[in-house]
Amino acid sequence: MGAPMAANLLKAGFAVTVWNRTAGRADALLASGAVLASSPSEVAEVSEVTLSCVTNSPDVEAIALGPNGVIEGAAPGSVYIDCSTISPEVARRVAAALAAKGVSMLDAPVSGGDVGARAATLAIMVGGDPATFERCLPVLESMGKTVVHVGPSGAGQVVKLRNQVAGGLHLLAMAEAIALARSAGVAPEKMLEVVSAGAGGSWMLSNLAPRALRGDFAPGFMVDLMQKDLGLVLETAANESLLLPGTTLVQQVFGVLQAEGRGAEGTQAIVDAVGPSRRQ
């Protein structure tokens, strides 16, 4: 996700300095005009706005607040934008630590997968100070099509977790629809053609179902990452005494794929955890 998002910043004319834990993954960006830094601190030192897109809450805390982290290089008045999906509590804690040094933070998780990241059509839900959001809007709009300020610090993560609830349930609906079509002897491709155009259509049906039917399980978004996000959802729900039976079921279904060693595949692999496809 991070690489195509950075590429779109370059296309928009921004001067981009990059750092990656695996240095070679930045080669294509360097060839397009980005400058390589040796640490998050060095990126922040030369940037008015520093962005990150990593895996989980501990990664964000390390990049933002750890040794050679953003907090060590960012100047007062600069902004840190995190596009990862993490715990809202961690987002607020990082924001508070940065604010003590005069650095603003926006939590700005994204939705739209690798397709949206490449096409700059991501949906971006942003938490933080409204004035900081307006200041950074040109940066965010270079990466996304729908950019919405949803509330104070942590609110972006709150909304993203709700997005994952809907996304996970849509994936399960996709898998069950395909399983039923196969069981009844109906070509799943034909079923998708008509259902996707009606009230039962979804992004998952239009974008991921065709890949699943081709046996293309390359990850736009990995099963392991969806499980991480659903874990955050259920943790939040437990803290708020909420019952989420659908989300619990989806997490269990993805757990089947993880148990089979398929956690690094795309979430469209859920079709192989439901119905007669498992016996083919």
How confident is the model over 121-133, as a mean pLDDT? Answer: 98
Radius of gyration of the chain (CA): 20
Scan for tokens 């939590």, then name that residue. 107
Q: What confidence tens digit (pLDDT) does each residue in 237-250 have? A: 998 999 999 999 99
CATH 1.10.1040.10 in the chain, residues? 158-279
pLDDT 10s digits, 262-274 = 999 999 999 999 9
What's the pLDDT tens digit per position in 200-234? Answer: 999 999 999 999 999 999 998 999 999 999 999 99
Question: Where are the CATH 3.40.50.720 domain residues in the chain?
Answer: 2-152
What's the mean pLDDT in 141-166? 97
What is the spatial distance between Cα 107 and Cα 109, in angstroms, rounded to a whole number? 6
Whether the predicted pLDDT of 279 surpasses 70: no
Task: Give residue 276's pLDDT.
Answer: 60
Distance between alpha carbon 231 and the CA centroid of its chain, in Å?
14
Average pLDDT, the chain: 95
Pick the CATH number of 158-279 from 3.40.50.300, 3.40.50.2300, 3.30.70.20, 1.10.1040.10: 1.10.1040.10
**What confidence category does residue 280 fall into, taking pLDDT thresholds of 50, 70 and 90?**
very low
Q: What percent of the chain has pLDDT over 70?
A: 98
The answer on pLDDT for 105 being more than 50 is yes
Residues 6+ apart with CB under 8 A from 111: 122, 123, 124, 125, 160, 163, 167
Residues assigned a catalytic role: 160
For 2-152, CATH gives: 3.40.50.720
pTM of the model as a whole: 0.89
The answer to whether 60 touches 71, Cβ cutoff 8 Å, is no
Mind listing the pLDDT tens digit for each residue in 9-44? 999 999 999 999 887 889 999 999 999 999 999 999
Strand runs labelled E in 37-167: 49-52, 79-82, 104-107, 110-111, 122-127, 144-151
pLDDT in tens, 53-82: 999 999 999 999 999 999 999 999 999 999
